[in-house]
Amino acid sequence: MKDRNSMDATMKSVNETIDLLLNHRSIRKFTDQPLMPEQVNMIVAAGQAASTSSNIQAYSVIAVMKEELKKELARLSGNQAYVHDCPVFLVWCADLSRLKAAAEKHQPGQETYEGTMEHLIVATVDTALAAQNAAIAAESLGLGIVYIGGIRNNIAEVADLLGLPELVYPLFGMCMGYPDQQPDLRPRLPQEAVLHWNGYDASASDKQVERYDEIMSAYLRERTGGAKDTPWSELMADKLAQPSRLHMGQFLRERGFATR
Amino acid sequence: MKDRNSMDATMKSVNETIDLLLNHRSIRKFTDQPLMPEQVNMIVAAGQAASTSSNIQAYSVIAVMKEELKKELARLSGNQAYVHDCPVFLVWCADLSRLKAAAEKHQPGQETYEGTMEHLIVATVDTALAAQNAAIAAESLGLGIVYIGGIRNNIAEVADLLGLPELVYPLFGMCMGYPDQQPDLRPRLPQEAVLHWNGYDASASDKQVERYDEIMSAYLRERTGGAKDTPWSELMADKLAQPSRLHMGQFLRERGFATR
Protein backbone atom coordinates (compact mmCIF):
# COMPACT_ATOMS: atom_id res chain seq x y z
CA MET A 1 0.00 0.00 0.00
CA LYS A 2 1.37 3.37 -1.00
CA ASP A 3 0.59 5.72 1.82
CA ARG A 4 -1.38 8.90 1.47
CA ASN A 5 0.41 11.24 3.85
CA SER A 6 3.76 11.39 5.50
CA MET A 7 1.82 10.94 8.74
CA ASP A 8 0.31 7.73 7.44
CA ALA A 9 3.71 6.36 6.54
CA THR A 10 4.05 5.24 10.13
CA MET A 11 0.74 3.40 10.02
CA LYS A 12 0.73 -0.31 9.72
CA SER A 13 -2.15 -2.03 8.01
CA VAL A 14 -4.91 -1.93 10.60
CA ASN A 15 -7.89 -3.62 9.05
CA GLU A 16 -9.44 -4.15 5.63
CA THR A 17 -11.81 -1.21 5.97
CA ILE A 18 -9.26 1.40 7.07
CA ASP A 19 -6.83 0.23 4.39
CA LEU A 20 -9.61 0.69 1.86
CA LEU A 21 -10.42 4.20 3.10
CA LEU A 22 -6.77 5.30 3.05
CA ASN A 23 -6.38 3.99 -0.49
CA HIS A 24 -9.18 5.99 -2.06
CA ARG A 25 -8.41 7.66 -5.35
CA SER A 26 -10.92 9.09 -7.81
CA ILE A 27 -11.31 6.96 -10.94
CA ARG A 28 -11.99 8.67 -14.26
CA LYS A 29 -11.37 5.79 -16.66
CA PHE A 30 -13.42 2.62 -16.63
CA THR A 31 -13.31 -0.73 -18.41
CA ASP A 32 -16.22 -1.85 -20.58
CA GLN A 33 -17.39 -4.30 -17.94
CA PRO A 34 -21.01 -3.43 -17.12
CA LEU A 35 -22.54 -3.20 -13.65
CA MET A 36 -25.55 -5.32 -12.81
CA PRO A 37 -28.60 -3.55 -11.31
CA GLU A 38 -28.23 -5.90 -8.32
CA GLN A 39 -24.81 -4.42 -7.61
CA VAL A 40 -26.35 -0.95 -7.62
CA ASN A 41 -29.05 -2.23 -5.25
CA MET A 42 -26.45 -3.48 -2.81
CA ILE A 43 -24.36 -0.31 -3.02
CA VAL A 44 -27.40 1.90 -2.43
CA ALA A 45 -28.50 -0.33 0.47
CA ALA A 46 -25.12 0.38 2.08
CA GLY A 47 -25.78 4.07 1.42
CA GLN A 48 -29.15 3.86 3.12
CA ALA A 49 -27.54 2.38 6.24
CA ALA A 50 -25.67 5.64 6.89
CA SER A 51 -26.71 7.96 9.69
CA THR A 52 -29.60 10.27 8.86
CA SER A 53 -30.87 13.24 10.86
CA SER A 54 -33.85 12.03 12.98
CA ASN A 55 -34.36 9.28 10.38
CA ILE A 56 -35.67 11.76 7.80
CA GLN A 57 -33.68 10.11 4.96
CA ALA A 58 -33.82 13.31 2.93
CA TYR A 59 -32.25 12.09 -0.29
CA SER A 60 -32.92 10.20 -3.49
CA VAL A 61 -30.52 8.77 -6.02
CA ILE A 62 -31.04 8.40 -9.76
CA ALA A 63 -29.07 5.56 -11.34
CA VAL A 64 -28.48 6.48 -14.97
CA MET A 65 -27.56 3.62 -17.30
CA LYS A 66 -29.16 4.83 -20.57
CA GLU A 67 -26.51 5.90 -23.06
CA GLU A 68 -28.32 8.95 -24.37
CA LEU A 69 -29.03 10.24 -20.89
CA LYS A 70 -25.44 9.77 -19.73
CA LYS A 71 -24.26 11.54 -22.87
CA GLU A 72 -26.50 14.50 -22.20
CA LEU A 73 -25.44 14.65 -18.53
CA ALA A 74 -21.78 14.54 -19.60
CA ARG A 75 -22.42 17.54 -21.86
CA LEU A 76 -24.21 19.45 -19.08
CA SER A 77 -21.41 18.67 -16.60
CA GLY A 78 -18.72 20.47 -18.56
CA ASN A 79 -18.05 17.76 -21.15
CA GLN A 80 -16.51 15.29 -18.75
CA ALA A 81 -16.23 12.18 -20.94
CA TYR A 82 -16.19 9.74 -18.03
CA VAL A 83 -19.76 10.73 -17.13
CA HIS A 84 -20.73 9.18 -20.45
CA ASP A 85 -18.18 6.36 -20.42
CA CYS A 86 -18.87 4.94 -16.96
CA PRO A 87 -21.38 2.06 -16.87
CA VAL A 88 -23.50 3.70 -14.17
CA PHE A 89 -23.80 7.37 -13.33
CA LEU A 90 -25.50 8.05 -10.00
CA VAL A 91 -27.09 11.43 -9.40
CA TRP A 92 -27.41 12.04 -5.66
CA CYS A 93 -30.23 14.42 -4.82
CA ALA A 94 -31.19 16.17 -1.59
CA ASP A 95 -34.90 15.43 -1.28
CA LEU A 96 -37.38 17.07 1.09
CA SER A 97 -40.37 16.22 -1.12
CA ARG A 98 -41.29 13.07 0.84
CA LEU A 99 -41.42 15.10 4.05
CA LYS A 100 -43.53 17.78 2.41
CA ALA A 101 -45.94 15.12 1.08
CA ALA A 102 -46.19 13.64 4.59
CA ALA A 103 -47.03 17.08 6.01
CA GLU A 104 -49.69 17.67 3.36
CA LYS A 105 -51.22 14.29 4.09
CA HIS A 106 -51.31 14.48 7.88
CA GLN A 107 -51.50 18.20 8.56
CA PRO A 108 -52.98 19.92 5.50
CA GLY A 109 -52.94 23.70 5.77
CA GLN A 110 -50.39 23.67 8.61
CA GLU A 111 -47.38 25.98 8.26
CA THR A 112 -44.21 23.98 7.50
CA TYR A 113 -40.52 24.79 7.67
CA GLU A 114 -38.92 22.89 4.80
CA GLY A 115 -37.79 26.19 3.27
CA THR A 116 -35.23 27.06 5.95
CA MET A 117 -31.44 27.11 5.68
CA GLU A 118 -31.43 24.45 8.43
CA HIS A 119 -33.43 22.04 6.27
CA LEU A 120 -31.24 22.70 3.25
CA ILE A 121 -28.22 21.77 5.34
CA VAL A 122 -29.85 18.69 6.88
CA ALA A 123 -30.90 17.35 3.48
CA THR A 124 -27.49 18.11 1.96
CA VAL A 125 -25.68 16.30 4.79
CA ASP A 126 -28.06 13.31 4.68
CA THR A 127 -27.33 12.98 0.96
CA ALA A 128 -23.57 13.24 1.38
CA LEU A 129 -23.43 10.63 4.16
CA ALA A 130 -25.44 8.14 2.10
CA ALA A 131 -23.34 8.79 -0.99
CA GLN A 132 -20.07 8.33 0.87
CA ASN A 133 -21.25 5.03 2.31
CA ALA A 134 -22.17 3.96 -1.22
CA ALA A 135 -18.77 5.05 -2.51
CA ILE A 136 -17.01 2.93 0.09
CA ALA A 137 -19.25 -0.06 -0.58
CA ALA A 138 -18.47 0.24 -4.28
CA GLU A 139 -14.74 0.43 -3.66
CA SER A 140 -14.91 -2.60 -1.37
CA LEU A 141 -16.34 -4.50 -4.36
CA GLY A 142 -13.38 -3.51 -6.55
CA LEU A 143 -15.23 -0.67 -8.27
CA GLY A 144 -14.00 2.88 -8.65
CA ILE A 145 -15.87 6.16 -8.34
CA VAL A 146 -15.47 9.88 -8.85
CA TYR A 147 -17.76 12.60 -7.52
CA ILE A 148 -19.01 15.02 -10.16
CA GLY A 149 -19.76 18.51 -8.83
CA GLY A 150 -20.06 19.52 -12.49
CA ILE A 151 -23.75 18.55 -12.54
CA ARG A 152 -24.30 21.86 -10.74
CA ASN A 153 -22.87 23.74 -13.76
CA ASN A 154 -26.26 23.55 -15.46
CA ILE A 155 -28.29 22.47 -12.50
CA ALA A 156 -31.72 23.54 -13.77
CA GLU A 157 -31.24 21.60 -17.02
CA VAL A 158 -30.07 18.52 -15.09
CA ALA A 159 -33.06 18.75 -12.75
CA ASP A 160 -35.46 19.04 -15.69
CA LEU A 161 -33.77 16.23 -17.63
CA LEU A 162 -34.20 13.87 -14.67
CA GLY A 163 -37.74 15.06 -13.90
CA LEU A 164 -36.90 16.27 -10.38
CA PRO A 165 -39.91 17.77 -8.60
CA GLU A 166 -40.00 20.75 -6.22
CA LEU A 167 -37.84 20.27 -3.09
CA VAL A 168 -35.41 17.90 -4.81
CA TYR A 169 -32.03 19.17 -5.99
CA PRO A 170 -29.12 17.35 -7.64
CA LEU A 171 -26.19 17.71 -5.24
CA PHE A 172 -23.50 15.79 -7.13
CA GLY A 173 -23.07 12.97 -9.58
CA MET A 174 -20.95 9.86 -9.11
CA CYS A 175 -19.37 7.85 -11.92
CA MET A 176 -19.09 4.18 -11.03
CA GLY A 177 -17.48 1.23 -12.77
CA TYR A 178 -14.47 -1.07 -12.93
CA PRO A 179 -11.25 0.98 -12.85
CA ASP A 180 -9.08 1.13 -15.94
CA GLN A 181 -6.45 3.27 -14.25
CA GLN A 182 -4.63 3.43 -10.92
CA PRO A 183 -3.85 7.10 -10.27
CA ASP A 184 -1.35 8.07 -7.60
CA LEU A 185 -2.67 8.91 -4.18
CA ARG A 186 -2.71 12.68 -3.79
CA PRO A 187 -1.29 13.89 -0.47
CA ARG A 188 -3.70 15.68 1.83
CA LEU A 189 -3.06 18.63 4.14
CA PRO A 190 -0.85 17.78 7.12
CA GLN A 191 -3.23 16.63 9.80
CA GLU A 192 -2.15 19.45 12.10
CA ALA A 193 -3.85 21.89 9.72
CA VAL A 194 -7.19 20.10 9.96
CA LEU A 195 -7.37 18.52 13.42
CA HIS A 196 -7.51 20.78 16.47
CA TRP A 197 -7.65 19.79 20.14
CA ASN A 198 -10.23 21.38 22.43
CA GLY A 199 -10.44 24.55 20.36
CA TYR A 200 -9.61 26.03 16.97
CA ASP A 201 -5.95 26.96 16.56
CA ALA A 202 -5.71 29.32 13.59
CA SER A 203 -1.98 29.88 14.14
CA ALA A 204 -1.20 26.26 13.25
CA SER A 205 -2.80 26.61 9.85
CA ASP A 206 -0.40 29.02 8.09
CA LYS A 207 2.70 26.99 8.85
CA GLN A 208 1.03 23.74 7.84
CA VAL A 209 -0.22 25.22 4.58
CA GLU A 210 3.35 26.27 3.79
CA ARG A 211 4.48 22.71 4.45
CA TYR A 212 1.69 21.38 2.24
CA ASP A 213 2.58 23.83 -0.54
CA GLU A 214 6.05 22.26 -0.67
CA ILE A 215 4.66 18.71 -0.57
CA MET A 216 2.18 19.40 -3.37
CA SER A 217 4.69 21.29 -5.52
CA ALA A 218 7.08 18.35 -5.30
CA TYR A 219 4.24 15.94 -6.03
CA LEU A 220 3.14 17.88 -9.12
CA ARG A 221 6.71 18.30 -10.35
CA GLU A 222 7.30 14.58 -10.12
CA ARG A 223 4.05 13.69 -11.87
CA THR A 224 4.41 16.21 -14.72
CA GLY A 225 8.13 15.87 -15.33
CA GLY A 226 8.64 19.38 -14.00
CA ALA A 227 5.95 21.02 -16.18
CA LYS A 228 3.73 21.94 -13.20
CA ASP A 229 4.51 22.85 -9.63
CA THR A 230 2.00 25.49 -8.56
CA PRO A 231 1.70 25.42 -4.75
CA TRP A 232 -1.67 24.39 -3.33
CA SER A 233 -2.39 27.76 -1.75
CA GLU A 234 -1.89 29.47 -5.10
CA LEU A 235 -4.28 27.05 -6.79
CA MET A 236 -6.81 27.76 -4.04
CA ALA A 237 -6.38 31.53 -4.42
CA ASP A 238 -7.03 31.19 -8.17
CA LYS A 239 -10.07 29.05 -7.46
CA LEU A 240 -11.61 31.51 -5.02
CA ALA A 241 -11.08 34.38 -7.49
CA GLN A 242 -13.23 32.64 -10.09
CA PRO A 243 -16.99 33.14 -10.03
CA SER A 244 -18.37 29.63 -9.75
CA ARG A 245 -22.00 28.56 -10.13
CA LEU A 246 -23.40 31.87 -9.02
CA HIS A 247 -26.88 30.58 -9.95
CA MET A 248 -27.04 28.13 -7.03
CA GLY A 249 -28.79 30.40 -4.54
CA GLN A 250 -31.52 31.40 -6.95
CA PHE A 251 -31.97 27.87 -8.27
CA LEU A 252 -32.39 26.46 -4.77
CA ARG A 253 -34.90 29.12 -3.78
CA GLU A 254 -36.91 28.45 -6.96
CA ARG A 255 -37.09 24.79 -5.95
CA GLY A 256 -38.28 25.61 -2.44
CA PHE A 257 -34.97 25.44 -0.52
CA ALA A 258 -33.60 28.15 1.78
CA THR A 259 -36.38 30.58 0.96
CA ARG A 260 -36.24 31.98 4.49
CA MET B 1 -25.87 -10.30 11.35
CA LYS B 2 -29.37 -8.93 11.81
CA ASP B 3 -30.37 -7.39 8.54
CA ARG B 4 -31.43 -3.79 8.16
CA ASN B 5 -34.18 -3.98 5.56
CA SER B 6 -36.45 -6.62 4.16
CA MET B 7 -34.52 -6.09 0.94
CA ASP B 8 -31.27 -6.86 2.67
CA ALA B 9 -32.63 -10.05 4.12
CA THR B 10 -31.74 -11.74 0.84
CA MET B 11 -28.15 -10.49 1.01
CA LYS B 12 -25.43 -12.86 1.99
CA SER B 13 -22.38 -11.52 3.76
CA VAL B 14 -20.37 -9.88 0.99
CA ASN B 15 -17.25 -8.53 2.58
CA GLU B 16 -16.10 -7.08 5.90
CA THR B 17 -16.63 -3.49 4.82
CA ILE B 18 -20.17 -3.87 3.46
CA ASP B 19 -21.19 -5.92 6.50
CA LEU B 20 -19.87 -3.09 8.66
CA LEU B 21 -21.80 -0.45 6.72
CA LEU B 22 -25.06 -2.41 6.85
CA ASN B 23 -24.66 -2.89 10.60
CA HIS B 24 -24.37 0.77 11.53
CA ARG B 25 -26.38 1.91 14.50
CA SER B 26 -25.96 5.14 16.43
CA ILE B 27 -24.39 4.64 19.87
CA ARG B 28 -25.48 6.88 22.73
CA LYS B 29 -23.98 4.99 25.69
CA PHE B 30 -20.26 4.42 26.08
CA THR B 31 -18.02 2.50 28.44
CA ASP B 32 -15.43 4.31 30.54
CA GLN B 33 -12.60 3.11 28.33
CA PRO B 34 -10.74 6.17 27.04
CA LEU B 35 -9.59 6.80 23.49
CA MET B 36 -5.94 7.49 22.80
CA PRO B 37 -5.07 10.59 20.75
CA GLU B 38 -3.33 8.23 18.30
CA GLN B 39 -6.67 6.55 17.62
CA VAL B 40 -8.18 9.93 16.85
CA ASN B 41 -5.23 10.64 14.54
CA MET B 42 -5.86 7.45 12.61
CA ILE B 43 -9.61 8.02 12.39
CA VAL B 44 -9.14 11.59 11.14
CA ALA B 45 -6.52 10.39 8.63
CA ALA B 46 -9.18 8.07 7.21
CA GLY B 47 -11.52 11.07 7.10
CA GLN B 48 -8.94 13.11 5.20
CA ALA B 49 -8.68 10.38 2.57
CA ALA B 50 -12.28 10.98 1.47
CA SER B 51 -13.06 12.75 -1.79
CA THR B 52 -12.89 16.53 -1.65
CA SER B 53 -14.05 19.00 -4.28
CA SER B 54 -10.98 20.01 -6.35
CA ASN B 55 -8.82 19.10 -3.35
CA ILE B 56 -9.99 22.16 -1.40
CA GLN B 57 -10.36 20.15 1.86
CA ALA B 58 -12.78 22.72 3.22
CA TYR B 59 -13.21 21.38 6.74
CA SER B 60 -11.64 21.24 10.17
CA VAL B 61 -12.41 19.02 13.12
CA ILE B 62 -12.09 19.87 16.80
CA ALA B 63 -11.45 16.87 19.04
CA VAL B 64 -12.84 17.71 22.46
CA MET B 65 -11.55 15.63 25.37
CA LYS B 66 -11.63 18.20 28.21
CA GLU B 67 -14.41 17.40 30.66
CA GLU B 68 -15.56 20.97 31.21
CA LEU B 69 -15.74 21.67 27.50
CA LYS B 70 -17.71 18.51 26.75
CA LYS B 71 -20.07 19.37 29.60
CA GLU B 72 -20.68 22.83 28.19
CA LEU B 73 -21.19 21.46 24.66
CA ALA B 74 -23.66 18.91 26.04
CA ARG B 75 -25.64 21.74 27.60
CA LEU B 76 -25.58 23.78 24.40
CA SER B 77 -26.68 20.74 22.35
CA GLY B 78 -29.99 20.30 24.15
CA ASN B 79 -28.66 18.55 27.27
CA GLN B 80 -27.67 15.35 25.50
CA ALA B 81 -25.76 13.54 28.27
CA TYR B 82 -23.74 11.37 25.87
CA VAL B 83 -22.00 14.47 24.50
CA HIS B 84 -20.48 14.81 27.96
CA ASP B 85 -20.13 11.08 28.69
CA CYS B 86 -18.32 10.02 25.51
CA PRO B 87 -14.49 9.97 25.76
CA VAL B 88 -14.07 12.09 22.61
CA PHE B 89 -16.50 14.55 21.10
CA LEU B 90 -15.59 15.61 17.56
CA VAL B 91 -16.96 18.87 16.20
CA TRP B 92 -16.87 18.79 12.41
CA CYS B 93 -16.67 22.27 10.89
CA ALA B 94 -17.03 23.50 7.33
CA ASP B 95 -13.97 25.68 6.84
CA LEU B 96 -13.31 28.14 4.02
CA SER B 97 -10.86 30.19 6.09
CA ARG B 98 -7.76 28.45 4.68
CA LEU B 99 -8.90 29.28 1.15
CA LYS B 100 -9.58 32.88 2.07
CA ALA B 101 -6.13 33.16 3.66
CA ALA B 102 -4.58 31.74 0.50
CA ALA B 103 -6.42 34.31 -1.61
CA GLU B 104 -5.29 37.17 0.64
CA LYS B 105 -1.72 35.96 0.44
CA HIS B 106 -1.47 35.44 -3.31
CA GLN B 107 -4.03 37.87 -4.70
CA PRO B 108 -4.56 40.65 -2.15
CA GLY B 109 -7.37 43.01 -3.12
CA GLN B 110 -8.81 40.59 -5.69
CA GLU B 111 -12.57 39.93 -5.51
CA THR B 112 -13.27 36.45 -4.13
CA TYR B 113 -16.33 34.22 -4.12
CA GLU B 114 -16.24 32.35 -0.83
CA GLY B 115 -19.56 33.95 0.14
CA THR B 116 -21.70 32.13 -2.43
CA MET B 117 -24.31 29.42 -1.86
CA GLU B 118 -22.12 27.19 -4.05
CA HIS B 119 -19.18 27.48 -1.66
CA LEU B 120 -21.40 26.87 1.36
CA ILE B 121 -22.56 23.65 -0.26
CA VAL B 122 -19.08 22.57 -1.33
CA ALA B 123 -17.67 23.10 2.18
CA THR B 124 -20.64 21.36 3.80
CA VAL B 125 -20.29 18.33 1.52
CA ASP B 126 -16.50 18.15 1.99
CA THR B 127 -17.06 18.10 5.75
CA ALA B 128 -19.75 15.42 5.61
CA LEU B 129 -17.68 13.10 3.39
CA ALA B 130 -14.67 13.33 5.70
CA ALA B 131 -16.82 12.81 8.79
CA GLN B 132 -18.53 9.75 7.34
CA ASN B 133 -15.18 8.20 6.45
CA ALA B 134 -14.06 8.84 10.02
CA ALA B 135 -17.26 7.29 11.37
CA ILE B 136 -16.67 4.14 9.36
CA ALA B 137 -13.02 3.96 10.38
CA ALA B 138 -14.08 4.27 14.02
CA GLU B 139 -16.67 1.54 13.68
CA SER B 140 -14.14 -0.72 12.01
CA LEU B 141 -12.03 -0.35 15.16
CA GLY B 142 -14.92 -1.47 17.37
CA LEU B 143 -15.92 2.05 18.37
CA GLY B 144 -19.40 3.53 18.18
CA ILE B 145 -20.52 6.98 17.10
CA VAL B 146 -23.57 9.20 16.93
CA TYR B 147 -23.93 12.40 14.93
CA ILE B 148 -25.10 15.40 16.96
CA GLY B 149 -27.04 17.96 14.93
CA GLY B 150 -27.89 19.55 18.29
CA ILE B 151 -24.71 21.62 18.21
CA ARG B 152 -26.61 23.85 15.78
CA ASN B 153 -29.22 24.59 18.52
CA ASN B 154 -26.94 27.29 19.93
CA ILE B 155 -24.52 27.50 17.06
CA ALA B 156 -23.12 30.97 17.81
CA GLU B 157 -22.29 29.97 21.40
CA VAL B 158 -20.65 26.74 20.19
CA ALA B 159 -18.61 28.66 17.61
CA ASP B 160 -17.45 31.15 20.23
CA LEU B 161 -16.68 28.46 22.80
CA LEU B 162 -14.40 26.68 20.31
CA GLY B 163 -12.85 29.91 19.02
CA LEU B 164 -14.00 29.44 15.44
CA PRO B 165 -12.93 32.28 13.15
CA GLU B 166 -14.86 33.83 10.25
CA LEU B 167 -15.70 31.34 7.46
CA VAL B 168 -15.74 28.34 9.80
CA TYR B 169 -19.03 26.90 11.01
CA PRO B 170 -19.79 23.88 13.22
CA LEU B 171 -21.83 21.50 11.04
CA PHE B 172 -22.39 18.63 13.47
CA GLY B 173 -20.82 16.92 16.43
CA MET B 174 -19.90 13.28 16.73
CA CYS B 175 -19.72 11.32 19.99
CA MET B 176 -17.12 8.56 19.83
CA GLY B 177 -16.19 5.79 22.23
CA TYR B 178 -16.52 2.12 23.05
CA PRO B 179 -20.19 1.07 22.85
CA ASP B 180 -22.01 0.14 26.04
CA GLN B 181 -25.22 -0.71 24.20
CA GLN B 182 -26.27 -2.57 21.06
CA PRO B 183 -29.44 -0.89 19.80
CA ASP B 184 -31.63 -2.61 17.22
CA LEU B 185 -31.05 -1.73 13.60
CA ARG B 186 -33.78 0.67 12.53
CA PRO B 187 -35.35 -0.21 9.16
CA ARG B 188 -34.86 2.29 6.37
CA LEU B 189 -37.25 3.33 3.61
CA PRO B 190 -37.87 0.60 1.04
CA GLN B 191 -35.19 1.08 -1.56
CA GLU B 192 -37.81 1.69 -4.27
CA ALA B 193 -38.66 4.98 -2.53
CA VAL B 194 -35.09 6.22 -2.71
CA LEU B 195 -33.51 4.67 -5.81
CA HIS B 196 -34.82 5.68 -9.23
CA TRP B 197 -33.68 4.46 -12.64
CA ASN B 198 -32.93 6.95 -15.41
CA GLY B 199 -35.31 9.55 -13.99
CA TYR B 200 -37.22 10.54 -10.87
CA ASP B 201 -40.41 8.52 -10.36
CA ALA B 202 -42.55 10.42 -7.85
CA SER B 203 -45.42 7.94 -8.20
CA ALA B 204 -43.36 5.19 -6.59
CA SER B 205 -42.82 7.22 -3.45
CA ASP B 206 -46.36 7.37 -1.99
CA LYS B 207 -46.90 3.63 -2.11
CA GLN B 208 -43.46 2.93 -0.63
CA VAL B 209 -43.97 5.43 2.17
CA GLU B 210 -47.22 3.64 3.06
CA ARG B 211 -45.31 0.38 3.19
CA TYR B 212 -42.65 1.96 5.36
CA ASP B 213 -45.27 3.42 7.68
CA GLU B 214 -46.46 -0.11 8.40
CA ILE B 215 -42.92 -1.42 8.86
CA MET B 216 -41.99 1.38 11.26
CA SER B 217 -45.25 1.16 13.22
CA ALA B 218 -44.66 -2.54 13.77
CA TYR B 219 -41.03 -1.89 14.68
CA LEU B 220 -41.99 0.77 17.26
CA ARG B 221 -44.83 -1.37 18.68
CA GLU B 222 -42.45 -4.25 19.21
CA ARG B 223 -39.74 -2.11 20.80
CA THR B 224 -42.07 -0.21 23.15
CA GLY B 225 -44.38 -3.05 24.15
CA GLY B 226 -47.20 -1.39 22.23
CA ALA B 227 -46.76 2.07 23.81
CA LYS B 228 -45.72 3.75 20.55
CA ASP B 229 -46.62 3.10 16.94
CA THR B 230 -46.78 6.45 15.18
CA PRO B 231 -46.20 5.92 11.44
CA TRP B 232 -43.07 7.46 9.98
CA SER B 233 -44.92 9.87 7.71
CA GLU B 234 -46.81 11.25 10.71
CA LEU B 235 -43.55 11.76 12.63
CA MET B 236 -42.15 13.55 9.58
CA ALA B 237 -45.25 15.77 9.29
CA ASP B 238 -44.86 16.74 12.96
CA LYS B 239 -41.20 17.44 12.42
CA LEU B 240 -41.79 19.71 9.44
CA ALA B 241 -44.45 21.66 11.35
CA GLN B 242 -41.93 22.60 14.06
CA PRO B 243 -39.77 25.68 13.58
CA SER B 244 -36.23 24.35 13.86
CA ARG B 245 -33.03 26.39 14.13
CA LEU B 246 -34.44 29.39 12.28
CA HIS B 247 -31.25 31.26 13.15
CA MET B 248 -29.10 29.25 10.76
CA GLY B 249 -29.39 31.54 7.73
CA GLN B 250 -28.48 34.66 9.67
CA PHE B 251 -25.69 32.93 11.60
CA LEU B 252 -24.07 31.67 8.41
CA ARG B 253 -24.26 35.07 6.73
CA GLU B 254 -22.69 36.71 9.79
CA ARG B 255 -19.79 34.27 9.47
CA GLY B 256 -19.30 35.01 5.79
CA PHE B 257 -21.23 32.11 4.21
CA ALA B 258 -23.94 32.42 1.56
CA THR B 259 -23.94 36.21 1.68
CA ARG B 260 -24.79 36.36 -2.02
Residue pair A68/A149 in contact (Cβ under 8 Å)? The answer is no
pLDDT band at A12 (very low <50, low <70, confident <90, very high): low
Of B176, B170, B178, the closest CA to residue B150 belongs to B170
Q: Which residues on B lie below 8 Å from A168 (Cβ)?
A: 200
How far is Cα B257 from Cα B114, in angstroms, rounded to an integer?
7
Question: What are the extents of the domains in chain A?
Answer: 26-183, 191-237
Q: Which residue has the higher pLDDT, A10 or B108?
A: B108
Can you name the residues that pair with B145 across neighbouring β-strands? B176
- Percent of chain A scored above 70 by pLDDT? 95
Nearest chain A Cα distance for residue B114, angstroms = 6
Q: Give the residue on B whose Cα is nearest the Cα of A113.
A: B240
Q: Answer yes or no: CATH 3.40.109.10 is held by domain B26-183+243-254.
A: yes
pLDDT surpassing 60 at residue A5: no
pLDDT surpassing 80 at residue A74: yes
Q: Mark which residues 211-230 of B lie under 8 Å from A by CB.
A: none
pLDDT digits (tens, 9 = 90+) for A167-180: 999 999 999 999 99
CB pairs under 8 A between A and B: 380
Helix axes A37-48, A117-140, angle to 10 degrees: 130
- The reported pLDDT for the residue numbered B4 is 59
Q: Which residues on A lie below 8 Å from B129 (Cβ)?
A: 128, 131-132
Residue pair B244/A235 in contact (Cβ under 8 Å)? The answer is no
CB atoms within 10 A of CB B113: 18
Residue pair A94/A171 in contact (Cβ under 8 Å)? The answer is yes
Q: Within chain B, which residues score under 50 in pLDDT? A: 1-3, 6-7, 9
Question: How would you class B81 by CB atoms within 10 Å of its CB: exposed for 0-12, middle for 13-18, buried for 19 or more?
Answer: exposed
Nearest chain A Cα distance for residue B52, angstroms = 9
Q: Which residues on B lie below 8 Å from A244 (Cβ)?
A: 113, 116, 118-119
How far is Cα A157 from Cα A154, in angstroms, rounded to an integer?
6
pLDDT digits (tens, 9 = 90+) for A190-220: 999 999 999 999 888 889 999 999 999 999 9
Of B80, B90, B93, B75, the closest CA to residue B176 belongs to B90
* Inter-chain residue contact B48 with A232, CB threshold 8 Å: no
- Whether ipTM tops 0.85, in short, is yes
* Inter-chain residue contact A244 with B195, CB threshold 8 Å: no
Q: What is the mean pLDDT of chain A?
A: 95
Phi-psi label, residue B210: left if phi above 0, alpha if psi -120 to 50, beta otherwise: alpha
Among B60, B97, B211, B246, the strongest candidate for a mutation testing the A interface, having the largest count of A CBs within 10 A, is B60
- The reported pLDDT for the residue numbered A205 is 84
Q: Mark which residues 63-102 of B lie under 8 Å from A by CB.
A: 63-66, 69, 93, 97-102
- The reported pLDDT for the residue numbered A233 is 98
- The reported pLDDT for the residue numbered A9 is 46
Can you name the residues that pair with B90 across neighbouring β-strands? B63, B174
Q: Give the residue on A whose Cα is nearest the Cα of B207.
A: A98
pLDDT digits (tens, 9 = 90+) for A127-137: 999 999 999 99
- The reported pLDDT for the residue numbered B2 is 42
* Inter-chain residue contact B113 with A246, CB threshold 8 Å: yes
Among B152, B196, B238, B250, the strongest candidate for a mutation testing the A interface, having the largest count of A CBs within 10 A, is B196
Q: Answer yes or no: CATH 3.40.1800.10 is held by domain A26-183.
A: no
